[in-house]
Structure 1
Amino acid sequence: MDIQNERRRLLDSEGGEESAQTAEQEAYLAKVKNGKLFLATFVSVLGPMSFGFVLGYSSPAIPDLTAIEDPRLRLNDVQASWFGSIVTLGAALGGLLGGWMVDKIGRKLSLMFCSLPFVFGFTVIVAAQNVWMLYLGRVLTGLASGVTSLVVPLYISEMAHERVRGLLGSCVQLMVVFGIMGVYLAGLCLHWRWLAICCSIPPTLLMVCMCFMPETPRFLLSQGKRREAEEALRFLRGPDAPVQWECARIENSSNEQGSGFQMSDLKDPGVYKPLVIGILLMFFQQLSGINAIMFYAESIFKQANFSPENSEVATVIVGLIQVIFTAVAALIMDKAGRKILLTISGIIMTISTVAFGVYFYLVNAHSSSVMDIQGQVAPEGFTNLSLLALISMGVFITGFALGWGPIPWLVMSEIFPSKVRGFASAACVLTNWTMAFIVTKTFQDLMVNLTAAGTFWLFASISAVSVVFTIAFLPETKGKTLEQIEADFRGSSAP
């Protein structure tokens, strides 16, 4: 085989084992075709698109539901708050369920099954006769979102090779923000029931199309299904790629790890180090202030003298900014690397949230109540000051989309050893959605106790800490196989 001959030649020359491993990878990747790999990725990210529809649905639906004539469905302020936030509780539960499912039934079947609560949830919303049915629909779609946010990054990372793993892994967040923007656009002209019907289309397509996609080779090999794993790799890499070599490499790494996760494995640096890093990534992502800034978007537009109609359009523009810069991040991910993008992202977010704090501090100087800050008519001459908030929001969203939006999900799917991937990913997803719920439900209390300026300066401080964390502790995973990343944490060389 050409790969083996090249390995022997380099072992006999200067450079030794490391050069031989690099040459093997280059010789293998030279024969890889990416067409069907991209197809499988596109099908799987219909899940994150559905997830984005769930997140964005409450924004156009709540105004309709608070103004509806039917008293059984009309939401008051408290109910509207729960309608928006209860999704995070369902998603936290979905993260735990997904961690169990991926290890028991595999990545492919987990993706297919998570389509069901998406469709059932939106169906319950369409058929809702009271507020509790609306809550049930949101919990079901949240449950599906939690499973999706865990399974899809794993599915993509275990299919993709190292040259395109960053690009394809970043498509998860790209499709989330694409779904959010899509539901914002559709909400401009669709009634809340029809909007829910449209939101059920992507998960339906996901279930159907996944029937024709393969299970991940790594999961098949973990189940002792070598022949099926080789068939999956031929589908993903093309008929000319020597897939037996990749299968052997994965098997050698699995044999070194052993099989089956036990709690005693948490004492292993190759397990607890990536687990702590993954949990902290999710912690910093949710405490960056993204939900708070998106929460304040509409009132900021109002303070800048946008009409209600223009405020809706401006919200779509915010979504478009997220899509554009998440796409930029995806395109440069495998060249720039994860660490540099996270560092730049954290710096941008720190500066912009400091500016947000300055904005609210100056607003307080003109206003004697929190109600004025939250969207009442701005004082005369205040429009120019509101431009500071508009610019800060645009800069923050740009920074978030470049790094802290997509990269935590990508790194989560890369750094865990295969035997703990389900458990560790579940812990990260549970952390992410729990923090999202806590931030959402305590935000108003923070605004009262710390003031608006103090709250955003707190977010700025956390973003600054995330920069230090990234520089000091986050390993670069660009261009490495999953086996090499595992070996780095174990302090050994990859097979």
Structure 2
Amino acid sequence: MVVLGILGAYLGGLLVDWRWLAICSSIPPTLLLVCMCFMPETPRFLLSKGRRHEAEASLRFLRGPDAPVEWECSRIESACDELGSSFQVSDLKDPGVYKPLVIGIMLMVFQQMSGINAIMFYAESIFEQAHFKESDLASVIVGLIQVVFTAVAAVIMDRAGRKVLLIISGVAMAISTNAFGMVAGEEAHTDLSWLALASMAVFITGFALGWGPIPWLVMSEIFPVKVRGVASAVCVLTNWTMAFVVTKTFQDMMNVITSAGTFWLFSSMCTLSVIFTMACIPETKGKTLEQIEATFRGTSGP
């Protein structure tokens, strides 16, 4: 849905000025805000607070009035009892906790340090600096490519494996950002402007196939249930913090180290992401949570 929203914004930019585009973009979050006012709390949260009656009402809202909510509440309570105590700082001594946490954080760092958000937000300006005449149309093409290949990634992810796709994705992104750096500077030749669109298309294709969706998927697979909430929150915080930093400093980097230097920096980060993937990230395809935990602890899984 995120990539569809980005494509919609690009298409809207072709039709209306930025003021009307901003107004139109405010409609979905406004509707979400209104709808969330009518959403109940999750049954698991309510049961953890001892509010069983409200949990049953929440389940009836979600499952329908005839759903066996008492039975499901009992199952949730049993699962919570088996889980035991909540996360504690001392849990970070466990390699089954700190190793996946470090991997999750680094996945989010590398995802944003590839420059994806800065590139998507400033796509039209980037194409203009690369002397591409139809910069607004090029942005729409980039958005469309991202939608298509994100859908492709969803289909092939379980077949190809997470690690393989991350490596292929990182290599494609490193090569394409390096190529874009060749034509992004002020001294770039206008007859090479086609390379700007081609390299950007390869970058977005690579990102959509791997480093776009897979870090979020891996994050949901590698954390033990006990720490999943806290660990996921830390990773999400890292992701959006890095997104803010990269996007906020993008124009400054373009001015200080030039356009070429900025994209070569992104290329080097993509190269590091490939090395990190090969050295540190285990393949999680087809593995149970217990097997993944055993991998991090260095023991044999079931």
Cα deviation code 1:429-457 (max 9, x no counterpart): 22212222222233344334434333322
What residue is the counterpart of 2:125 in the other structure? 298
Map of 2:278 onto structure 1: 471
User: How far apart are the structure 1 equivalents of 2:284 and 2:227?
Assistant: 18
Aligned length: 293
Q: In structure 2, what is the Cα distance between the partners aligned to 1:214 and 1:340?
A: 40
2:214 corresponds to 1:407: yes
Aligned 8 A contact 1:301 1:390 in 2: no
| Counterpart check, 1:280 vs 2:106 | yes
**1:346 aligned onto 2:170:** yes
Q: Which moved more, 1:325-334 or 1:285-294?
A: 285-294
User: In structure 2, how many angstroms separate the alpha carbons of the residues matched to 1:272 and 1:448?
Assistant: 38
| 8 Å Cα contact 2:124/2:136 also seen in 1 | no
Contact kept in structure 1, 2:138 and 2:197, CA below 8 Å:
no
Q: Does 1:319 align with 2:143?
A: yes
> Residue 11 of structure 2 is aligned with which of 185, 197, 210?
185
Deviations 1:9-34 (A, max 9, x none): xxxxxxxxxxxxxxxxxxxxxxxxxx
Q: Which amino acid aligns with 2:13?
A: G
Name the CA distance, whole Å, in 1 between partners of 2:41 and 2:292.
22
Helix, strand or coil at the partner of 1:188: helix
CA distance in structure 2 between the partners assigned to 1:483 and 1:206 by the alignment = 36
After TM superposition, list the pairs within 5 Å mapping 1:60-209 onto structure 2: 175-190=1-16, 192=18, 194-203=20-29, 205-206=31-32
Task: Indicate the residue corresponding to 2:160 in structure 1.
Answer: 336
CA shift at 1:339, angstroms? 1.2
TM-aligned CA deviation for residue 279 of structure 1: 0.5
- Once residues 301 and 430 of structure 1 are traced to their aligned partners in structure 2, the CA distance between those partners, rounded to angstroms, is 32
- Structure number with greater CO (CA < 8 Å, separation at least 6) is 2
**Secondary structure at the residue paired with 2:257?**
helix
Alignment counterpart, residue 251 of structure 1, candidates 79, 87, 101: 79
SS, match of residue 211 in structure 2: coil
Of 253, 256, 270, the residue aligned with 1:446 is 253
Query: d(CA) in 1 for partners of 2:149 and 2:9?
Result: 19
How big is the alpha-carbon RMSD for the aligned residues of Structure 1 and Structure 2? 3.8
Partner Cα separation in structure 2 for residue 338 and residue 215 of structure 1: 33
Q: Tell whether the 8 Å contact from 1:298 to 1:315 is kept in structure 2 after alignment.
A: no
Report Cα offsets for 1:44-87 as digits up to 9, x if no partner: xxxxxxxxxxxxxxxxxxxxxxxxxxxxxxxxxxxxxxxxxxxx
CA distance in 2, matches of 1:421, 1:320: 33
Q: What TM-score does the superposition give when structure 2 sets the normalisation length?
A: 0.79
Distance between the aligned counterparts of 2:33 and 2:257, measured in 1?
Answer: 46
Who is 1:81 aligned against?
none
**Gapped runs of 5+ residues in structure 1?**
1-174, 364-371
Q: Which runs of 5+ in 2 are unaligned?
A: none
Q: How much has 1:347 moved relative to structure 2?
A: 0.7
Give how far 1:480 is off.
3.7
C-alpha distance in structure 2 between counterparts of 1:448 and 1:433, whole Å: 24
